[in-house]
A and B are shown apart, each in its own frame.
Chain A
Amino acid sequence: MTACSYDAVVVGAGIVGTACARELADAGLRVALCDQNVYTGGGATAAGMGHLAVMDDSEAQFALTSYSQALWHELAVELPPAAEYLPCGALWVAADQEELDQAQRKCAFYRVRNVPAEMLDAPQLAEAEPKLRAGLAGGLLLPADSVCYPPSATDYLARRVTETGGSLFLGARVNAVSEDGVGFHDGTRVSAGVTVLATGAANLTPGIAVHPRKGHLAITDRYPGFVRHQLIELGYLKNAHSTTADSVAFNVQPRKTGQILIGSSRQFGVDDGSTEAPMLAKMLARVIEYMPSIRNLSMIRTWTGFRAATPDNLPLIGVCPGYKKVYLATGHEGLGISTSLATARLLADEILGRVSAIARAPYEATRRFVLHA
């Protein structure tokens, strides 16, 4: 590796980094894209589910996820088959009347914002997903949600970099960041007009309030038709959004291969990436509670990953505190795949001085809490 000069260097070739690199390359910049792995999409991107969701936790989260979903719908038509794009819709499952009331409020939220949403009563839920246990209250169907296989999407997005005269630096770990580029662990450097850090939970700039949040997933052998939609329990919202406690939630996804992806768990303060039997057992027990016959399926692999969590559950998109030409695109927690394309568009808007389609302020990396004291 020799010292080269680029218009932009993007560190981290996960879904967010590759989307940023593509966006900048499309704007005419010569881009260097680097990753410590020898392939793209090998970090949290490979560990995640790949549910392309529109979320309603806050107006800012809704704005980013719905903008990004529109961009995914545009991209979907050109994605290669390996990206396994599947427009299966998502179904939020209500276990009781309280959760059904919550589903109804969500439904109204989406409808008033022109997102297709449909309430299902108990018989309609059973018809939509016959393997769910009896006695559930109903559900909320979001037909525009979809799923994909994110590592293959990163491969596709990264191609634009080389197509436009840029370079991929794979197997290259960055250990120094400055206003005029990055340095690699082997002592070489890449200088660039702007630097984008898309390294998920791995902070390269000190003091940024992004913390790893560990998750477990499992995948089954191929059982086509067993699950039809991305399924999530409404209890997920109570469980997943606590910013301190460990939690599990029923969350399963049909893959184009017929496999079923099974989640999910959330843990803070764990930096060991090994799979933990007690956490896995807790997660699977929750899944079996909702879908009893899933216990008869053959589970072929389990793994973990680290989400990049922020204190307000919104990502950090924009100039990095303390820098002028170093930008952050991280902190996406469990929504990195969903929001990657909008993140890239907004970041490119900021770098290039363009007007954005949605307000960028809620995601600015300079917002108050970001720097630790």
Chain B
Amino acid sequence: MPEEIAIEVNGRRVRVAPGMSVAASLFQAGEFHFRSSITGEPRAALCGMGICFECRVTIDGRAHSRSCQIEARDGMVIHTL
């Protein structure tokens, strides 16, 4: 297993440990605004177990992916907001 993998977060290359969730990777990368609520309020991972849907981001072009339930993979492209 490689010691680090590289993902792309909003166009920025970020290195994270293998086995981390996308949500944890985003926090580690300093991203705390995952998406915006209907009224425009910032949202980020809350429950961490796939129930609250607050952690949704776009992963490899797929909108509304629950980042807390998806493992970060090398080369993954993530967009928040």
Contact = CB atoms under 8 A, between A and B. Distances in A.
Interface of A: 221-223, 257, 296-298, 300
A343 B62 CA distance: 44
Instruction: Tell me which of B53, B56, B63 has the highest count of chain A C-beta atoms within 10 A of its own C-beta.
Output: B63
Contacts of B56: 221
A222 to B, nearest CB: 8
A296 B38 contact: no
B14 to A, nearest CB: 25
Contacts of B63: 221, 223, 297-298
A3 to B, nearest CB: 44
14 contacts: A221-B56, A221-B63, A221-B64, A222-B64, A223-B63, A223-B64, A257-B38, A296-B62, A297-B63, A297-B64, A298-B63, A298-B64, A298-B65, A300-B53
Contacts of B65: 298
B51 to A, nearest CB: 12
B21 to A, nearest CB: 17
Nearest to A300: B53
Nearest to B63: A223
Contacts of B53: 300
A222 B62 CA distance: 12
Nearest to B62: A296
A300 B62 CA distance: 15
A28 B56 CA distance: 51
B1 to A, nearest CB: 30
Interface of B: 38, 53, 56, 62-65
Contact residues of B: prevailing secondary structure: strand
A257 B62 CA distance: 18
A118 B53 CA distance: 41
A226 B53 CA distance: 21
B42 to A, nearest CB: 16
Contacts of A296: 62
Nearest to A296: B62
A87 B21 CA distance: 42
Give 8 nearest A-B pairs by CB, closest first: A221-B64, A298-B64, A296-B62, A223-B63, A257-B38, A221-B63, A222-B64, A221-B56
Nearest to A221: B64
A222 B38 CA distance: 10
Nearest to B56: A221
A206 to B, nearest CB: 46
B40 to A, nearest CB: 13
A296 B65 CA distance: 10
A255 to B, nearest CB: 12
B57 to A, nearest CB: 12
B81 to A, nearest CB: 13
B67 to A, nearest CB: 13
Nearest to A223: B63
A123 B56 CA distance: 35
Contacts of A221: 56, 63-64
A217 B64 CA distance: 20
Contacts of A300: 53
Nearest to A220: B64
Contacts of A297: 63-64
A297 B65 CA distance: 9
A22 to B, nearest CB: 29
Contacts of B64: 221-223, 297-298
B60 to A, nearest CB: 11
B34 to A, nearest CB: 14
Given A257-B38, A297-B64, A300-B53, 8 more contacts: A221-B56, A221-B63, A222-B64, A296-B62, A297-B63, A298-B63, A298-B64, A298-B65
B80 to A, nearest CB: 15
A223 B64 CA distance: 9
A172 B45 CA distance: 42
Contacts of A257: 38
A199 B62 CA distance: 42
A178 to B, nearest CB: 47
Nearest to B65: A298
A257 B39 CA distance: 11
